[in-house]
Structure 1
Amino acid sequence: MSAELDIAGRVIELTRRLAGTGAEAEAVADHSAQALTRFANSAIHQNVADATTTVWLRLHLDGRTAAGSTTVTDADGLQSLVERTIAASRLSPPDAAWPGLTAPAPLRPVEAFDEATAAASPRERAERVRDFVQAADGLETAGFCRTAYSSGGFVNTAGQSVEGRAAEAAMDGIARLDGADGVSRRASEHLADLDGAALGARAAAKARAGGRPIELPPGRYEVVLEPTAVADLLSNLATFGFNGKSFAQHQSFAELGTQQFDPAITITDEPLGATLPFDLEGTPRDTLVLVRDGITTAVSHDRTSAAEAGATSTGHASGSSRSWGPIAANVRLAPGPATGAAADTGDGPTAASARALVSGIRRGLLITDFWYTRVLDQKSLVITGLTRNGVWLVEDGEVTAAVGNMRFTQSYPDALGPGSVLGIGAEAIPLPDRWSGVRYTAPALHLKSWNLTGNASG
């Protein structure tokens, strides 16, 4: 038994003793250890590490619900948590939406835990930073390499008792030359998978190819989106479209059983290995198919949104899911068929994952990244944002000029709709989000139309 499972069990026993046998309660203890090595001006300037054990308790008593948390895990701290939560429940309004507790259920099998990543040293992260900087060959660089480890235990009064561990590593860096930035990112459950030299070479090649950009007029362009840009599509689709609360409240585009996407599109959430194998309500996590062959098949649910929608929890409860909705955090777009593309040598702006797609463009754009993306209309998921870290004009299958950053306004589901996807890269690349434990696995995408509405300055 892990220390976290023991703590969660003690909290439930205290709750039974202090609140009575009629109380419904669930407790989670999570130990999170994160370490970050940051670099700027081509030198490491910060190495930080943090380890915290947090205990959450949610209690449903006499028709009212309250929750509390603490980082004080001794006997007095746990007793204080239980007493405060009981007192809060008596002051809370009646909770007609209480969905009940997760029944006992086994966890899904998970691949072997990577002890080496969990125990990674500052030197190991620094070696990858060194390789990134050296591969950039004199260009100014900045970014980070991080490792994270989580161990958790869950117990509730309905008899569910589970525990698990997860580890994650990520690297994100830019290279800069005369105001042009190139970016390269990777995420993995294994630090050994992160090749700082390959990432640095890719970022530097894109920066070198981004000089002397031209300006193009607004309009609809055929585009190839590199995986770093596709990750933003997946993030917004998961947050606003495949969100079970938004779906239950008819604020999502999702229509289950409907061909809403091109038949080439299959999107899954694959949390096992990347995060704990159960959610904050103790529901076991598993692969969830959100879109299969263009047909929307599911949305992510916690117990509250599932009850509202007449569905079943998919294991996406979090500390904020009752307020903001349950959000899939490990979304993957399935790659296309293998094309025999050459390995990525870092010799130009087009990564190997996008190279074959670029060759199919008569006139269009290659876009590396999106940022500052904001929702203009949630129901249709119209997004506005900016390109970043490299845009290039493509003519007759060849990159001919760097292009200045542009603003876009585009419905993401429409961009991926039936007949709109002209190709999908053969390699799906795991990419880190800002938060540890969140990642998006994406190939490059060749899309028929993307609505560029102006240059970045206008």
Structure 2
Amino acid sequence: MSASSGSGVSTELQVAAKVVELVRELAGRAAEAEVNVRHRALALTRFANSAIHQNVAEATTGVRLRLHLDGRTAAGSTTVTSVDGLRSLVERTLAAARVTPPDPGWAGLTLPAALHISAGHPGSGEHSGLAFGFDEATARATPAERAERVRAFVDAAGGLETAGYCRTEYVSAAFANTAGQAVEGRTAEAAMDGIARNNGADGVARLAAARLADLDGAALGARAAAKARAAAAPIELPPGEYEVVLEPTAVADLLQNFSVFGFNGKSYTEKQSFAELGKEQFDPSVTIVDDPLGSRGEPAPGLPFDDEGTPARSLVLVREGVTKAVTHDRTSAAEAGAESTGHAAATSRSWGAFPAHLRMEAGPPVTGTPGEPAAVVESARPFLAHMRRGLLVTDLWYTRVLDPKTLVVTGLTRNGVWLVEDGEITRPVGNLRFTQSYPQALGPGRVLGIGAESVLLPDSWGGAHYASPALHLASWNFTGNASG
């Protein structure tokens, strides 16, 4: 898993150090530079019509250089990691910097700092992050191992048509800058997402994990099939405000939108976010943490540093209903008079830094469905007994933000909605369109219950993970059915 071959530059950290050396050689000591090197190996096993139809894998090493010289900033990238390729990258980036407009917002470089070591993740040195959330077996998973989980999913669906994927990903990364910061880390992740179809009704099951061994294809297939069978022959309901129970798969969409549009430090500084620090904006039962390192000791599929070399750490965004923090890179932190929270990314200067490993803390223990593995326990089910009339919602999709300041979102339900009356599921319901302020839905007094388990789910945007419990909410604004 080396960064290159035949060049004498082998590891990601060595590549980063070589680029720094070349910057000093070609631009002198006045230049400020930071280098990100990332080797990514992604393997995907896809299935449709209950059979594997695609098994693909790719491995690439990318080098990104950001350089600041004479008040001007430019960036460049390459996948050619030979010495000649790296020299060309530096030369091109220098040439771009000389003709780029001045950059008054440049916030400088990250100074040398050791990585944070969370409980359960022993470090191997001051600058090493090689032990963070990393499972060697997942990094080296074979097509046969992914196929085993696909077979188990298909078999457990009991003859229903199935489709989906099982993927594994390995990332080895390094960062170095001309201020002396040099860090490295690696991580591995596995995910499975599948549907079962029954006469036009779909049931879904998905799960992400730091270990492929934690993905139980049979449990996921059985869950998807049970939901598909229960969703057949849906009725239509009129629009209106309904009490709802959102399953973890639906809650993940709330966390994603909170992340990108709410806790984004750039949006906050520009007053385009709903976030008001120190204010009770959520129900007291709500606590939301960004946790790339797994502060509780469990592996987490995150790197221990960001794209500016700032060490990653656990950050409480909401504690018992009170908004406590937003996330920053160095640029937005300087504008806000704050410090970087370790959330810089390749696009954060343009789009803002946002948390990519959100976890909504689970509620008190409740009884799940007997016999189901903990990873896919139906933590929504216990709330149904307390509903006089409401809806159980599996999934939200095609969501679009109408007003970022209040985070009013419109979208559709998907993969199963059911009417609940007097504590019992009575009928499946056709998909509904909604328009709802997400923070308002979780506001003080509006959260009636939080599931006892936060389930780690993959993000369709890539690179982010959301640990979501089920939510029992007082109301949700449905504006029509899926066709209107």
TM-score of the alignment, normalized to the shorter chain, above 0.5: yes
Of 72, 81, 101, the residue aligned with 1:93 is: 101
1:27 aligns with 2:35: yes
User: Which whole-Å CA distance do the structure 1 matches of 2:411 and 2:367 have between them?
Assistant: 33
1:320 match: 347
> After TM superposition, what 4+ stretches of structure 1 lie above 4 angstroms from structure 2?
none
Identify the residue that residue 10 of structure 1 maps to in structure 2: 18
Q: Who is 2:82 aligned against?
A: 74
Pairs within 5 Å for 1:440-451: 440-451=466-477
For residues 14 and 344 of structure 1, what CA distance do their matches in structure 2 show? 60
Shift of 1:345: 4.2
Report what 2:147 is aligned to.
126
Preserved CA contact (<8 Å) 1:168 1:437: no
Q: SS where residue 379 of structure 2 aligns? A: helix
Q: Distance in 1 between matches of 2:86 and 2:258?
A: 39
Aligned to 1:418: 444
CA distance in 1, matches of 2:462, 2:169: 7
Q: C-alpha separation between the residues in 2 aligned to 1:414 and 1:109?
A: 36
Q: Does structure 1 residue 358 correspond to structure 2 residue 384?
A: yes
Distance 2:10 2:218 in 1: 38
Instruction: Identify the match of residue 206 of structure 1 among 227, 246, 254.
Output: 227
Q: Give a deviation string over 1:230-249, Cα, whole Å, max 9, x none.
A: 00000000000000100010
1:308 to 305, 327, 335: 335
Consecutive unaligned residues in structure 2, runs of 5 or more: 1-8, 122-130, 294-299
Match of 1:382 in 2: 408
What SS does the aligned partner of 2:34 have?
Answer: strand
Superposition CA RMSD, Å: 1.3
Give the aligned length: 455
Counterpart CA distance in 1 for 2:219 and 2:462 is 22
| Contact map agreement 1:168 1:436 (CA 8 A) in 2 | no
Which aligned pairs between 1:41-60 and structure 2 lie closer than 5 A?
Answer: 41-60=49-68
The answer to whether the aligner puts 1:370 opposite 2:396 as a matched pair is yes
Note the alpha carbon deviations across 1:2-27, whole angstroms, 9 max, x for none.
70000000000100110110111101
Q: 1:97 Cα deviation (Å)?
A: 0.3
In structure 2, what is the equivalent of residue 275 of structure 1?
Answer: 302
1:343: how far off?
Answer: 3.3
Q: For the Cα contact (< 8 Å) 1:2–1:153, is it kept in 2?
A: no
Residue 339 of structure 1: how far off its partner (Å): 1.8
- What is the CA–CA distance in structure 2 between the aligned matches of 1:363 and 1:221, rounded to whole Å? 8
Aligned identity (percent) is 70
Matching residue of 2:417 = 391
The two structures have a TM-score, normalised by structure 2, of: 0.92
Distance in 2, matches of 1:453 and 1:102, equals 48
**Aligned equivalents of 1:159, 1:248: Cα separation in 2:** 30
SS class of match (1:184): strand
Alignment of 1:162-173 (within 5 A): 162-173=183-194
CA distance in 2, matches of 1:324, 1:221: 35
Q: 1:435 to 1:99 in 2, by over 3 A?
A: same
State whether residues 368 and 377 of structure 2, in contact with CA within 8 Å, keep that contact through their aligned partners in structure 1. no
Contact 1:344 1:352 in 2 (8 A): no
Deviates more, 1:351-360 or 1:445-454: 351-360
**Residue 206 of structure 2 aligns with which residue?**
185
Rounded to whole Å, the distance in 2 between the matches of 1:38 and 1:435 is 18
3-state DSSP class of the match of 1:353?
A: coil
Q: Pick from 274, 277, 283: which aligns with 1:253? A: 274
Secondary structure, aligned partner of 1:144: strand
Residue-by-residue CA offset, 1:393-435 (whole Å, 9 max, x unaligned): 0011110000000000000000000000000000110000124
Structure 1 length normalisation: TM-score? 0.98
Structure 1: which 5+ runs fail to align? none
CA distance in 1 between partners of 2:66 and 2:371 (Å): 49
Residues 344 and 388 of structure 1, relative CA distance in 2, 3 Å threshold: farther
Is 1:297 the equivalent of 2:297?
no
